[in-house]
Amino acid sequence: MSQTDTPGAAEFRPEARAPRGFADKRARDLAAERRILQAVSAVYERWGFEALETGAFEFADALGKFLPDSDRPNEGVFALQDDDEQWMALRYDLTAPLARFAAQTWETLPKPFRRYAFGTVWRNEKPGPGRFREFVQCDADTVGSARPQADAEMVAMAAAGFEAAGLPRGAYVLRINNRKLLDGLMAEAGIADPRQKLVALRAIDKLDRLGWDGVEDLLGEGRMDESGAYTKGAGLDVAAREAIGEFIDISTRETGVLQALARLKLGALGEEGLRELELIEDALEGMGVAAEQARFDPAVVRGLEYYTGPVFEAELLLETTGDKGEPIRFGSVGGGGRYDDLVARFTGERTPATGFSFGVSRLAAALKAAGRDPAGAARGPVVVIAFDQARMADYFAIAAELRGAGVPAEVYLGQSGMKAQMKYADRRLSPAAVIVGEDELAAGTVTIKDLDLGRELARGVADNSAWRAERPGQVTVARAELVRVVRSIMEAQG
């Protein structure tokens, strides 16, 4: 017998809750993301990139470094076992699926293969403020070109994409570095242990949050944070820490970064990286990318281990505030770089590739926090007020006429009266409500209430008498004038 069948047993009611890191989005948030995607996709297509969509699931072994050494590969990803006992996981990003697709279809692809993609990705990580387990990314990648100019194109295209999405020039900067510089510098400093190198890279990646003192602690023995948690450091000696400090110090310069780097001991690999940055600089200049849009910064590392050369990170420079007016910092809103070894995991042959990715949800939130909401108001439909059950066919005919003219419209289908229906339309941010009672039906007219006008008056625009005179709050017109009058209300609000 189930719990609900037991006499006197309380009926089980699950708590209405969403899992942490999985956000519900209403129309305003969705509209903001869609407008960003439309704007950026148009940029990518103008630059000759082909759209590609891959499935939400990939075989878990295709995700490479994200798999732990355990029987259940579910650390960092959401995985399950298929009916053939193969593990598959929701995609962690859009780059690993591209590498798999390129390896699988390489013989049929135009080379280099230039593609862009957007979609939801999932990460089985601890969620926090601005950090989700499910979110939307947008990527552009070139697979099959080893030219540094391909990296430069990513930077230039990212700048164009951000501006198309609503970030004006001066509101962001793309910082560029080359992982080969640090690899060469560490080799010259005698840092050969792979673990030390990885810990050192992760420490440098925290420079904007911890400052040099915190980074130096992590390069040395370790660091204890304010909560008392201790992080073991890379264990580098004083000379190695000083060499990295001198390297990072160059990041404070606005100009002459490459010239300053050339004076350091970077070894053969570092010199190769420096030459690549010089070619990127020339290409950016040729594409008209200004210094305020992109600059070289030796402190940029990027956390993912698969980067093999140039890396770039987009930083938001706008002042942003939270819901209560408190200042908040978004920092990075995108990044990317060169990953020449990713396709080789499938083929065994090194295939050059470079790309850029940004979090669409994060960028939308950043624009909103900066007062540059890309969605604006998420407008509702025109609402046709329902007075009489016997007249529903007439109300639906009015809504159909509006929809046929391209105006979103709906008939109110609740059970409430006139006042509640008007409140419903206002909560939907409807531009207008259409009122058709017995008098209007008999006279062949409709009454149209301008809800936008009411909202403007409520915000204190009441002193603009000329504006009010041109937009009466409520008007009764012939049925043939319905579409024209509703459109005029909508056009007045842009």
pLDDT tens-place string over residues 248-299: 888 877 788 999 999 999 999 999 999 999 999 999 999 999 999 999 999 8
With 0-12 / 13-18 / 19 or more C-beta atoms within 10 angstroms meaning exposed / middle / buried, residue 382 is buried
Please give the structure tokens belonging to residue 363. Answer: 């960028």
CA torsion through residues 297, 298, 301, 306, sign: positive
Q: Do β-strands 113-122 and 409-411 pair in parallel, antiparallel, or remain unpaired? A: unpaired
Rounded (10°) CA dihedral 294, 300, 306, 310:
40
HSE of 366, CA atoms in CB hemisphere, 13 A: 26
Q: Identify whether 456 is part of a domain.
A: yes
Kindly state whether residues 204 and 291 are assigned to the same domain: yes
Q: Identify whether 105 is part of a domain.
A: yes
Kindly state whether residues 208 and 178 are assigned to the same domain: yes
pLDDT in 10s for each residue of the chain, 494 residues? 455 555 556 789 999 999 998 989 988 889 889 999 999 999 999 999 999 999 999 998 888 654 444 444 567 889 888 888 888 999 999 999 999 999 999 999 999 999 999 999 999 888 876 678 999 999 999 999 999 999 999 999 999 999 999 888 988 999 999 999 988 998 998 888 888 888 888 888 888 788 889 989 999 998 988 888 888 988 889 998 998 889 888 887 778 899 999 999 999 999 999 999 999 999 999 999 999 999 999 988 876 677 899 999 999 888 777 666 677 677 788 999 999 998 998 999 999 999 999 989 888 888 887 777 665 556 889 999 998 889 999 999 999 999 999 999 999 999 999 999 999 999 888 999 999 999 898 999 999 999 988 777 665 554 555 444 554 688 999 999 999 999 998 888 66
On average, the pLDDT of the chain sits at 87
HSE of 188, CA atoms in CB hemisphere, 13 A: 19
Q: Identify whether 341 is part of a domain.
A: yes
In angstroms, the CA 17 to CA 421 distance is 29
Question: Residue 136 in contact with residue 360, Cβ under 8 Å?
Answer: yes
89's enclosing H/E stretch is strand 87-90
Structural domains counted in the chain: 2
Question: Residue 432 in contact with residue 451, Cβ under 8 Å?
Answer: yes
Question: Residue 146 in contact with residue 352, Cβ under 8 Å?
Answer: yes
Domain CATH for 246: 3.30.930.10
- Nearest in space to 432 (alpha carbons), one of 489, 477, 479: 489
Kindly state whether residues 91 and 206 are assigned to the same domain: yes
Separation in Å, CA 186 to CA 156, 164, 179, 241, 299: 30, 39, 11, 10, 14
Phi, psi of 446 (to 5 degrees): -140, 145
Give the residue numbers spanning the domain of 99: 27-369
Q: Identify whether 58 is part of a domain.
A: yes
Kindly state whether residues 84 and 190 are assigned to the same domain: yes
- Nearest in space to 40 (alpha carbons), one of 131, 139, 113, 142: 139
Kindly state whether residues 83 and 226 are assigned to the same domain: yes
Residues 6+ apart with CB under 8 A from 81: 87, 88
Q: In what order do the strands lie in the sheet with 294-296?
A: 50-51, 113-122, 134-143, 353-359, 332-338, 310-316, 172-178, 294-296
Domain boundary among 311, 339, 369: 369
Kindly state whether residues 364 and 469 are assigned to the same domain: no
Domain CATH for 481: 3.40.50.800
Kindly state whether residues 159 and 260 are assigned to the same domain: yes
Kindly state whether residues 392 and 365 are assigned to the same domain: no
Domain boundary among 347, 369, 391: 369
The contacts found for 270-275 with CB under 8 angstroms, 24 or more apart, are 270/180, 270/181, 270/182, 270/183, 270/184, 270/185, 270/188, 271/184, 272/180, 272/184, 273/178, 273/179, 273/180, 273/181, 273/183, 273/184, 273/309, 273/310, 274/178, 274/181
Q: Identify whether 9 is part of a domain.
A: no
pLDDT of residue 313: 94
Q: Identify whether 374 is part of a domain.
A: no
The per-residue DSSP string of 123-155 comes to: -BS--BTTB-SEEEEEEEEEES---HHHHHHHH
Kindly state whether residues 321 and 387 are assigned to the same domain: no
